[in-house]
Amino acid sequence: MSKTTEIGPKAKPEPTKKSAKREIIELLIIALVIVPLINIFVLQSYAIPTSSMESTMLVGDKLFVSKLNFGPRIPNTPLALPYVHNSIFGAPSYTTMLELPYMRLPGFSSVKRGDIVVFNYPPEVDKGIPVDKRTNYVKRCTAQGGDTLQVIDGQVYINSKAVENPPGLQHAYMVKTSSPFNPKTKEKMGISEVFQGNEIGTYIMMLTNQNAEEIKKMANTDTIYKVTQLKGEFNPRVYPFNSKLPWNIDFYGPIYIPKKGDKVKLTEENYALYETPIKKYENNPSLEWKDGQAYLNGQPLAEYEFKMNYYFMMGDNRHNSEDSRYWGFVPEDHIVGKPVFVWLSSNPFFNIRWDKSMRTVK
């Protein structure tokens, strides 16, 4: 007898169930390899800790920073714990047993005037911290290599032309009122910083021009004026900390920002401006000034050719921002990325600001 052939779909083999060991290995690969690589080369989340960019970005904003816009930077310290920037339980989260030189992959663009930029804090070079492990700051690029910047009565000029100010630009104003300033008015107008003055009824407020005009029209406002330092009034905290350049945060410069390949003549007048970038950021520790002349490696140095591009960063909250006016240039190897999206905004009491969340950064 012939055998009967069964016709019909064959039963599908049951899928092989992953072992617990394999699932753990896959999770570890994702957590310890894939996600850290995304953070380094593509996108990373940051939080805004200070008010220096108010009202553009607020304290408590959680934002995504693109590493692709300016080109991903190869880590100087590749041997480091993931998800931790520079320390854990008070100890370094990295080792300098392997340190790589500055390298950056191609990006969509270079840093331009007006860009909001996350970068590493340059003065921490004095602490011996590797570049990629220095504190993260966020400011707006006010001038780029090749620009001459000057601040006159709080207004920024680039190459002798006044620049268009960011829409959220703020300055400090002295406000005197005949009755206490209503906290609800502050909240309604989006004013985040109000400080009590020395006298009853006086306040120091960080305001946009629009805020200032609105307060000026209020019935209980007696006087309101912008608080500025005077021209020629030397502020010893302002870079380059030299009384021969009597600058302050409202009257600053002119100062030339160097770009890669620039050959700048070093003179008694400008040596203080360029000593730090040449000596510390471009690793020329033997640079010195003596007998009216710059010396490098014991040899006279009439001019210096810069190896990197430099930038001048300022906060949009101009009177409450520690920025390039206080510590000078930002070298290109300190550039981390470009903020692109605020995914959550919350105040210090963890109350979510829904109207400020889920927005692009401009």
Query: Do 101 and 181 fall within a single domain?
Result: no
| pLDDT score of 330 | 98
Residue 6 lies in a domain: no
The pLDDT assigned to 264 comes to 97
Does residue 190 lie within any of the structural domains?
yes
Instruction: Let me know if residue 352 belongs to a domain.
Output: yes
Task: Note whether 136 and 39 are same-domain residues.
Answer: yes
Residues 187 and 271 in one domain: no
Residue 3 lies inside a defined structural domain of this protein: no
Residue 164, domain member (yes or no): no
Record the pTM.
0.90
The reported pLDDT for the residue numbered 11 is 61
Instruction: Please tell me the predicted confidence (pLDDT) of residue 34.
Output: 92
The CATH number given to whatever domain includes residue 343 is 2.10.109.10
Helical H segments across 163-208, by residue range: 183-189
The verdict on 142 and 28 lying in the same domain is: yes
Question: What residues have CB less than 8 Å from 310, skipping those under 6 apart?
Answer: 145, 257, 258, 259, 277, 329, 330, 331, 332
203: domain range? 171-226
39 and 129 housed in the same domain: yes
Q: What is the pLDDT of residue 120?
A: 97
Residue 244 is assigned to a structural domain of this protein: no
Q: How many residues does the chain have?
A: 362
Same domain, 36 and 134: yes
Residues 191 and 299 in one domain: no
Phi-psi region of 184 (alpha: psi -120 to 50; beta: other; left: phi over 0): alpha
Q: Can you give the pLDDT at residue 127? A: 94
Residues 218 and 111 in one domain: no
pLDDT at 15: 66
Structural domain count of the chain: 3
- Is the same domain home to 176 and 287? no
d(CA 294, CA 219): 60
Residues 6+ apart with CB under 8 A from 251: 151, 152, 153, 229, 230, 231, 232, 233
Same domain, 26 and 143: yes
Positions of the chain with pLDDT lower than 50, given as ranges: 1
Same domain, 138 and 176: no
Residue 190 belongs to a domain with what CATH number? 3.30.70.80
pLDDT in tens, 114-170: 999 999 999 999 999 999 999 999 999 999 999 999 999 999 999 999 999 998 899
Residue 1 maps to a domain: no
> Is residue 110 assigned to a domain?
yes
